[in-house]
Structures are given as C-alpha cells and as structure tokens.
Structure 1
Amino acid sequence: MSTLQTVPTEPVTAPGKGDRSFPVPPSGSAKWRRKKERALCQIAAASRFLGGPRQSPTPGSSTTGILTYHHVAKQVASDPFLLNVTPQRFREQIEGLIRFGYRACSLRDVVACHRENRALPDESFIVVFDDGHHSVYENAWPVLRDLGVPATIFLATGYLDRDTPLPFDTCQTGLSRCGDTRRPLTTLECEEMLGSGLLDLGSHTHTHEDFRGQPDQFAYDLTCSLQLLRGRFGLKRVTFSFPYGRFDAEMQRILEQHQLLCAVTAECQCVTLGGTGPNVDPFGWGRFGATQFDTPRTLAAKLDGWYTWLQQHWRRLRR
C-alpha cells in the first residue's frame, strides 16, 4: 500500500475536492422525518411483539444487527437527522437489549466469524459510533464500560484533537449549550478507550467527504486516515464506515485493495453471515440508526428485521 510521508495535523481536502457539508433540511422536512421515524419504530415493535422475529436465517447462515450512534449528549433541541441520543436513553437502550437476552459483540468478532465461516450467537448486536465526537467519551463510554459492551468508533481522522465542532455536524445548534461535548475526540481519550480492550477504532475517512465517482481522491484520503490510525494507535488493519453512507463499487474495490476488514453503509439491513442474499458482502454491510425515539423494544424490532420490512413497504407505497 502506498504511504504518505506525513499525515496533516489539520483537516485536509483531498486533491480536486471542495469542502462539502451535509445540508440541513428545512424545519418542515425535519419534523416529517421525526414523525415518520417514530411511527415506523412503534409499528415495528408492535409487529415483533405479535409475530416474533421477521429475519429468519437460512440453513448454514446467521444474522446480526449493527446499531449506529453519533452524538450521546443531553441536548436534542435541534437534531434534523436524528443523530443525537441522550445519555439516559442510551443506557436504557443498551441495558434493555441485554435484559431481553441480546448479546453485544464487537465488529471484529463479526469479521472473524465471516472469514472463518462461523455463526454468531443468536440475538447478537454490535454498537458503533460515527465521526468521533467527545460526547461519546464523556457520556457513552462510561455506560459501555459499566456494562462490558464492546463498540467501534469510526474516526474522521483529520479532525482528531481539534477544539472546534466538526464542520459537518448537523447537531451544532441543538448542542450549543452542551459545551465541550461538541468537539472531536482527542488522542488521549482514544488511547484510554482503546487500551480498555472494549473500544476499537475504525476509519470514517480523513476529511468526511462524499467520494463517489472520485476514486483517486478517495484513495489519497483513505491513505491519510490509515496512516494516522497506524502511526498513532498501532492499528494495522481496521474497519471502515462510509461518510453519509454513500459509496460506489470503485470505493469498495479500493477498500479491499488497502486490506480493510469490512465497510458499513447506511442501508437498514441486518448483516448475514454465510448463505446468500443481500448484505453478505463485508464491504457493504448495512446497519440501523439508533435514535432518541428508540426503546429496547424498537431496537429489538430493528435487529429482528421488522423495521427493514416496514421500510421497504413504505418505499413501495410512495412510488
């Protein structure tokens, strides 16, 4: 793999790319998004209660679900993309899943099972965090440590150690009174969590751009990110999360060439190990967003496949 002599200490823009922040939707669109998400979660939970698991593995295969978080902070006043979960709700969600009999696994466990053609434990789930916000260290890490739950933090590595909010953070307004939780993680915070053996670090690119259709720029940015993770934390092979969940086949090919372990998207699907069908490719594994509206029951409905089924039918109705 090609390497760069140095990794920039400040966020860089890959050659040929301009800065692109994720657009904040109009207030009406945000309200509709919140209502739809709440309704789908509630219907999925009721369907699971009445019908049991929707996702039935084929013989020789097993399924699991990845739950994605971004911020875990107290304020959710302005959160158009439902990216923030309060610390109390986060604890309720994880404790509730464990109480229901679900078992937390690490993303590396899933990769190992995939490679060795082994099944995962029944009713398992994986916790991941995108971006690398300080709120994860301050509010989520104590909960995970108390419960012994492993997790992966996908770092936008170019922003590590900065004292200002991430420029693509759509929760900035709503988190304005949360102070320090808005900034990115520091190297020392990452080292502490990584040293516990519970928390793992993955790549979320270096600059958090949408690199579809720009393979050279993506390869350059990825090299910066991997070099930082290797040089600063000693991580030789890592997992990956596509910024905004956006990807194309060329990006997946580059990840394989750089020997990443797996890559997760924003497709609301369970991960299938063994067998055939959707979401088998480890460089296109789907996952579920965990929101403030989620209870342990609605998360269980996502992990059991009901949310995916409802969302697919919702999309058909809107065509």
Structure 2
Amino acid sequence: MLLYHGVGERAGADDPFRLFVPPSRLRRQLSMLLAHGWTPLRLDQYLRGDTPPRSVLVTFDDGYRGMFREGLPVLRELGVPATVFLLPGLLGATSRWMKEMSGEPLVDEEEVQDMARAGLDLGCHGWDHTCLAGADADTLARNTTRAARALADITGRRPRAFAYPWGAHDARARRAVAEAGFDVAFSTHGAAGRYAIPRVDINALDTVVSFRLKCLPGFPVMRRVSGRVPGLRPALNRLTGRVARG
C-alpha cells in the first residue's frame, strides 16, 4: 500500500513535512509501476482479497484540494484507481492541524461529490485530524461514527475504509473504528491486524531510486530495521538521494 498526501508544486519552505508530490513526478511514479507489471487495485478488490502478485493500493490522506485538481487528472490519464481519505469536519477549510502549513486548502463538499463521480474510493480520515491514540470516548465517536455518517450524507455511500490521523492508533481507537462499521483501517507504520494495516509513505523528496526501493516487498522490514541501527537510515538516504527543492 502506498500513501500519498498532496499533489502539487511546493517550495520546501511552504511544505516542511514534504507532503506534496509534483504531478509530473506522480505520473512518472505510477507509470513506472504500470510499466513493471503492477496492478493498481480498487478498494473493493482489496477487501475481497482479489490481489494478484505485484498489486498495489494507492491511497491519499487529508483531502487536499491539490490532490483533486492536480492529482485526479494524472490518475484519470493513467487509469489508476485510488482511495482518498477525507476529513468531513474540515471540508472547504484548511490544514489547520499543522501550524507550520495551516493554510493549505482542503476539498469542499462539491469536490467530494465530483471525486465520487470520478470513481475514486472515498474513505474516512477522522473528523478533523485529531489524534485517536489515547482519545476519550466522545472524541472517538466523533471521529469514527459521526465522520462516517457525514461522509455518507455527502456521497450517498457509507465509507468502508478508515485511515488514522497521524497514523496513530491504540486498542481503543481500533475498536471504535471496527464498531463504527468500517471494514478495514490503515496506519502509517504500526501494524495491528485488519484495523491497523501499515502503508509506505511517498513524499516530495523521493527519487526514482528511493521510490523503487519503497516498492520492494521487503521495504517495511528494512524500514523497521533501519530505525533500530544507528546511522543506517541516514546511510540509506545518502544512497538513494533526495530531490532538491526550492
């Protein structure tokens, strides 16, 4: 599973968390997968277990307007399905959960409906990007049950998949997601069964080499090991390189 966030050209100072991948690079990355025989999956295929060898679920978190305006045309051009995780409590607002880049626009209700009509699978990313690890019962209910209901009211279809804000979860959060009726939930790194499936994050600094590395089946294990061995992760970054940003 690949995890993207925004799509668009951003200078490093405007995107300190490296969330925005330029559309040209997104096109190159997805084209590379297709050229090497990867099969991009729709969410229902993934949930049915219809996952041939070298298959990939492409996901986008947060619901940035840049993903809709600059990412969707690339997906359409290449015929690549994707699952987008949205924040129904912040539709038409901005990424205010990050003070360093709090003004990044998010899609509004009309754009959500346009994404649904375009064939994107729409999942839930909580209500307002509140971290759910350690959250109280009311917060969990707002970010799971209420958020799912709000998204269903807009699209006419109840979301089947959930992605944890910040990738953070604990046993109570996973239980709340399951009890809210979601079929599956995705984390970032921490795995814990069907309701915390990890994904590999693709960011603005990824080169062709690092993207290929991240697509290797053994990359999640490599990532865990590199975090435990002093100096190994910086060495891997030097080996794969990083894209220069203005």
**TM-score normalized with structure 2 length:** 0.85
Contact 1:212–1:246 at 8 Å: present in 2 too?
Answer: yes
Is residue 132–residue 164 contact of structure 2 (8 Å, CA) maintained in 1? no
Q: Distance in 1 between matches of 2:159 and 2:73?
A: 26
Question: Match for residue 142 of structure 1?
Answer: 73
Instruction: Summarize the Cα distance change of 1:296–1:153 in structure 2 as closer, same or farther, 3 Å threshold.
Output: same
Question: Does the 8 A contact of 2:151 with 2:159 survive in 1?
Answer: no
Q: Which residue in the other structure is 2:241 paired with?
A: none
Radius of gyration: which is bigger?
Answer: 1
Counterpart of 1:293 (choices 205, 210, 226) is 205
> Is the aligned partner of 1:281 residue 2:193?
yes
**Displacement, 1:235?**
1.6
Which residue number corresponds to residue 82 of structure 2? 151
Shift of 1:183: 1.0
CA displacement at 1:306 relative to structure 2: 3.7
Match among 46, 59, 83 for residue 19 of structure 2: 83
Asked if 1 retains the 8 angstrom alpha-carbon contact of 2:75 and 2:81, the reply is yes
Q: Higher relative CO (CA 8 A, sep ≥ 6), structure 1 or 2? A: 1
What displacement does 1:156 show?
Answer: 1.2
Alpha-carbon shift at residue 292 of structure 1 (Å)? 2.4
Shift of 1:69: 1.1
Return the offset for 1:125.
0.9
Correspondence for 2:219: 307
Aligned to 2:124: 203
Q: What residue is the counterpart of 1:94 in the other structure?
A: 30
Hey, what's the Cα distance between the residues in 1 that align with 2:136 and 2:48? 28
CA distance in 1 between counterparts of 2:42 and 2:211 reads: 17
SS of match in other structure, 1:240 = strand
- Kept after mapping to 2: 8 A contact 1:76/1:84: no
- The one-character-per-residue Cα deviations of 1:211-247 (angstroms, maximum 9, x if unpaired) are 2222412123322211111111112242100000000
Instruction: Give, as a single letter, the amino acid of the residue that structure 1 aligns with 2:154.
Output: R
Alignment root-mean-square deviation, CA: 2.1
Amino acid of the residue matched to residue 212 of structure 1?
A
- The percentage of counterpart residues that share the same residue type is 28
Asked if 1 retains the 8 angstrom alpha-carbon contact of 2:122 and 2:159, the reply is no
Q: C-alpha distance in 1, partners of 2:24/2:224?
A: 31
**How far off is 1:129 after superposition?**
0.8
Deviation at 1:295, TM superposition (A): 4.2
Alpha-carbon contact 1:81-1:170 (below 8 Å) kept: no
Tell me the amino acid that sits aligned with residue 95 of structure 1: S
- For the pair 1:224 / 2:146, whether they are aligned, the reply is yes
The 1:317/1:280 distance shift into structure 2, 3 A limit, reads closer
Q: What is the number of residues matched between the two proteins?
A: 229
Distance 2:68 2:43 in 1: 19
CA distance in 2, matches of 1:109, 1:170: 37
Once residues 208 and 138 of structure 1 are traced to their aligned partners in structure 2, the CA distance between those partners, rounded to angstroms, is 22
Is 1:267 the equivalent of 2:202?
Answer: no
